[in-house]
Amino acid sequence: MIRPLLFLVCFVAGLWQLGSAAWLLAKAQLAQLLIVSAWEEQLQGGAPQKPWPWADTWPVAKLKLEGQSPLIVLAGGSGQALAFGPGLLSGSGSPGENRTTVIAAHRDTHFAGLDRVRRGTSIYLQDKYGRWHTYRVSEMRIVDSESERLPVFAERGLLLVTCYPFNALAAGGPLRYLVYAEYQSGGELVRL
Amino acid sequence: MNRVMLFGQRFHKDDLMLPTEEYYRRRQRSGGLGRWILFIVVVLAVVIAAIGAEVNAQELPGEVDTDAAFLETVTLDEVKAGDLLFTGAEMGRYIPAVHLASQVKIVIRGLVADVQLQQKFQNTSDNWQEAIYALPLPEQTAVARLQIQLGERLIVGKVRERKQAAKIYKAARAAGKRAALLEQQRPNLFTNKVANIAPGEVVQVNIRYIQPVTYDGGTFSLRMPTTLTPRYIPGESVPVHALGGDELNLVTQHNGWALPTNQVPDAPAITPLMQPAEELHAIGSHKMAIEVELHSGLPLAQVSSPYHKIDVEDQEGGRYDVHLREGAVSMDRDFVLRWQPHASALPRAALFSERIDATSEKAGTYLQVMLLPPDDGIRSQRLQREVVFVIDTSGSMSGNSIRQAKESLILALARLSVNDRFNVIAFNSASRALFPRPVVASAENIRRARQEIEILNAEGGTEMAPALRLALEQQLPGDINLVHQVVFITDGAVGNEQALFEVIHQHLNNTRLFTVGIGSAPNNHFMRKAAQFGRGAFVTIGDITEVRERMHALFTKLENPVATDLQLSWPEGLVADAYPKRIPDLYRGEPLQLVARVEGGNFQGEIKLRGRMADKQFVRKLALKVDESGHGGSLGSLWARSKIESLRDQQMQIGESSDTGQVLREQILQLALAHQLASPYTSFVAVEEKVVRNEKDKLARGPVTNVVPRGQVLQRQAYPSTATGVYTQLLAALGLFSFAALLSRGRKLRSNMVHQLRYLLRKVMPDVRCTQNSFEARPGGVRP
């Protein structure tokens, strides 16, 4: 009697874990679809559009890493925003502004491909007016978030932040992987 | 196929020395012991593999980016807009170029402590350095002196208007002269900068400050902070154009991690970098030696320090010498000294006077008065109370602090009587009230509240203003039969103190606000002033073992009658300018403590304190007499400091930028200049005349970090959390499925339902493994 019960418990618990992992991944991917349409609308209309009525964030930019599919960047670096897409940290500059733009995302969802980025890789960022800005990766660095602060400075530049190591099991470690990209050009209306 | 995966290849038994078939039969019968063992082994293996992966990952950073040159320090000349600055050294560890050693000598006479703080800044690098250090000081200090000591030579600092002082310092720094600047950022937080420290050189900065001694409930105490809890900076970042592209300058000038916001414009100045104590000790920095010379004038029953081990030597004439037993200690918690006279000799009143004969404005006669209201013969009549408890669950409270906070809250709940009403508000970035309105303190409600409190976690921001408003608006002012109280449990780690005092001032009505300061290094300026504006009292808890005793001290104040409508009258013909201007209500055990400057008339007669307590009038008298106990000018400084505080309070209520606010600013400035004190508008600056650094040698900026307070978790101040833990969940799923599969195998009786489940399982398992394999197959996937 105890054995089928135990089996059932394990099986259900396994399903639950698998389900919640799948939910996290699905949320990350599916939300992007909704956000894409909100972004398109926003580019047409100009006013910030929330992807769904109860969202506490809104799209602010579109990010494309060379050789990877584009991602819509949301406002803020809160956990809620990062669950759905990369977040543009408040306090950092918007694309093209004379201030470092800082975008963070989860290492196991949207920025899972960040470890493939190398020096010289191009990164494209579309601002809210539809203009594309080009950046070129110049530096990758691992930092300890406990003893260092985010390097935000008064110059155009893009800083991508995700957790490090990429394949660590537990979340919440102190290390961060930084990719810094220098500003190349911008302002043209390019369709990628 | 699952079986192969789970159990591996079986050898033919003829090839091996194996137990007999009888053994297998028994094992089958004896049930699943073997399988249990197998399960445990599998789980262990998974755990070990996980730990291994983690350890591997931790070791990696050093190997990955060895080619990148890490900047250990950043020179001021090199800092140009756009430079990507990493102050980290290898292994993500920051090694400060300037080391710090402190020595404190405290002389306590009467109710005043005269503190000499000597800080040695040692440049361990090969560059010239500018040390920038956020110096925490007690919240009521009058900083009276700044000196640079080079061997035997002393360079004495002068008080100048804040901007002027900064200018003098900058000019000296650029010219290559040794210079020091001490600026007040908050009444309990200063910035100390020392320019042009030669490679390998030690520059000592001497600071002298005067601090009043606290007397409460028959115990004298003195508190000295050594570090600070990182403050939360609320508000929106100031747009870049408003800063004029100056933010790099702002941050590097102040060694801060936060940029200015609309609510905290001086954020970079109050957010120093923090480092764990172990890292700093490894390099032998941030140690502090403390010596106290206690002239109590009374025989003492006890001298103790709750957070440090001390040795007390009983000298002649009521003098006690106190040393730290371990010599120099870590600067990771407040130093507190308490001393208690014998019960028969508890002072009821004290008067100290000092005449300063100088040609400056400082000249005059200063008085310090301590007077206890009567506490005998008044029966405490228990009034019905309505208490709103507010608990800070922000990120800065994580670690020991939240445990202390919860413990004290639960203790306070247990103390309520059935007729009382209560509510609990927990806040971090958002505030949440447990009940919509205060409820009766029934056993059921308290049980519910306890359950909710147990599960509170410390994370998120410290949006204190909405929480304060919510707490103060909970209570309907009309109900005069209830005593309205708010008990605010927090570490006070916020940057917008002034704005919060305003909230308290505006929303208080007839409520009284009590603050409970939590942690090894709470923001006592906030605790004291919030309680002052809230017409309440405050206690601090620095250790979990202290909760019961300190909360009991608070309950004494909450539950006993208060001395109100206090008025002080001076003898005829004597003009006194006394501070605090309005005498606050006094709780059980609290004395009236004030400092005054008196003019005219004979120095004789009586001071009378009139007041009401539990609907009875009382009068306390104190005879004036001249006493030259040799305070060395400290009473004058203390008086000026109290007056500045009073003027600042007035200024807060009418706004600093208004016309009257500017008039008050001018008054504060003149007072601080006359008494040579540091204030919000004046700073100390000391400059050596000699030029020591050549123009060709560059000056590097050496931020001196502050130690993370003991028992606290270092906040990730800027970097967001960027992992979901999805791998852990996938792994857990795999483990659970494996176990389920194990369980289902080898069963003799298979019911139809289980059979179907197995069928399902077989269909599902390959999928699960595919998912897992796909993760392994990815580039940069799971490391072997």
Q: CB B737 to CB A7 under 8 A?
A: no
Mean pLDDT within B226-233:
88
CB contact under 8 A, A151 and B86: yes
Q: Which residues of B touch A108 (CB under 8 A)?
A: 723-727
The 10s digit of each residue's pLDDT in B236-282 is: 766 555 555 555 555 555 566 677 778 888 888 888 878 888 888 88
* pLDDT number for residue B470: 93
Is A141's CB within 8 Å of B60's CB? no
Structure-model confidence comparison of residues B629 and A20, the more confident one: A20
Cβ-contact B598, B575 below 8 angstroms: yes
Query: Whole-angstrom distance between the N-terminal and C-terminal Cα of chain B?
Result: 24
**What is B363-418 written as a DSSP string?**
-EEEEEEEEPPP-SS-PPP---EEEEEEEE-SGGGTBHHHHHHHHHHHHHHHH--T
**Is CATH 3.40.50.1820 correct for B385-559?**
no
Distance from CA of B43 to the nearest CA of A (A): 13
pLDDT digits (tens, 9 = 90+) for B23-38: 656 655 555 666 777 7
Q: Which of A10, A16, A103, A117 to mutate to test the interface with B (most CBs of B within 10 A)?
A: A10
Is the confidence at residue B119, as pLDDT, over 90?
yes
- Segment A28-81, tens digit of pLDDT: 888 888 888 888 888 887 677 777 777 777 888 899 888 888 888 988 777 777
Return d(Cα B332, Cα B706) in angstroms, integer.
Answer: 8
CA distance B585 to chain A (A): 44
Q: Are B536 and B485 in contact (CB under 8 A)?
A: yes
Half-sphere exposure for B569 (CA within 13 Å, toward CB): 11
Return d(Cα B342, Cα B302) in angstroms, integer.
8
For B90-343+678-707, the fitting CATH number among 3.30.1050, 1.10.3470, 1.10.150, 2.60.40 is 2.60.40
Mean pLDDT of A76-98: 77
Domain boundaries along the sequence of chain B: 2-56+724-777, 90-343+678-707, 385-559
Host H or E run for residue B269? none
Confidence category of residue A162, pLDDT binned at 50, 70, 90:
confident
Mean pLDDT score, B759-763: 77
| Closest residue to A153, CB basis, from B82, B88, B761 | B82
Q: Which domains does chain A have, with CATH numbers?
A: 2-186 (2.40.260.10)
Nearest-by-CA chain B residue for A78: B720
Of the partner residues B720, B725, B781, the one whose CB lies closest to the CB of residue A89:
B720
Is the ipTM value over 0.85, yes or no?
A: no
Band (pLDDT 50/70/90 cuts) for residue B479 is low
Q: Does residue B550 surpass a pLDDT of 60?
A: yes
pLDDT digits (tens, 9 = 90+) for B68-114: 333 233 322 323 222 223 333 333 345 777 889 999 999 998 899 99
B283 to chain A, any CB pair closer than 8 A? The answer is no
CB distance A141–B86 less than 8 Å? yes
Closest CA to B32 of B746, B624, B534: B746
Q: Distance (Å, rounded) from C-alpha B281 to C-alpha B355?
A: 46
Residue B256: the pLDDT is 66
CB contact under 8 A, B92 and A142: yes
Label residue B306 by pLDDT band (50, 70, 90). Answer: very high
Is the model's pLDDT at A18 over the cut of 50? Answer: yes
Contact B723 A78 (CB under 8 A): no
Q: Which two tokens stand for residue B579?
A: 């501070």
Judge: B716–A145 Cβ closer than 8 Å, yes or no. Answer: yes
Smallest CA–CA distance, residue B336 to chain A, in Å, is 28
Query: What's the confidence (pLDDT) of residue B17?
Result: 55
pLDDT at B12: 52
Q: Is B703 helix (H, G, I), strand (E, B) or coil?
A: strand
Give the mean model confidence (pLDDT) for residues A112-135. Answer: 86
Q: What is the pLDDT of residue B783?
A: 39
pLDDT-derived band at B714 (thresholds 50, 70, 90) equals: low
Closest partner residue to A21 (CB to CB) among B50, B733, B761 is: B733
Over range B754-778, report the average pLDDT. Answer: 60
* Cβ-defined contact of B740 to A10 (cutoff 8 Å): yes
Residue B364 burial by CB count (10 A; 0-12/13-18/19+): exposed, middle or buried? middle
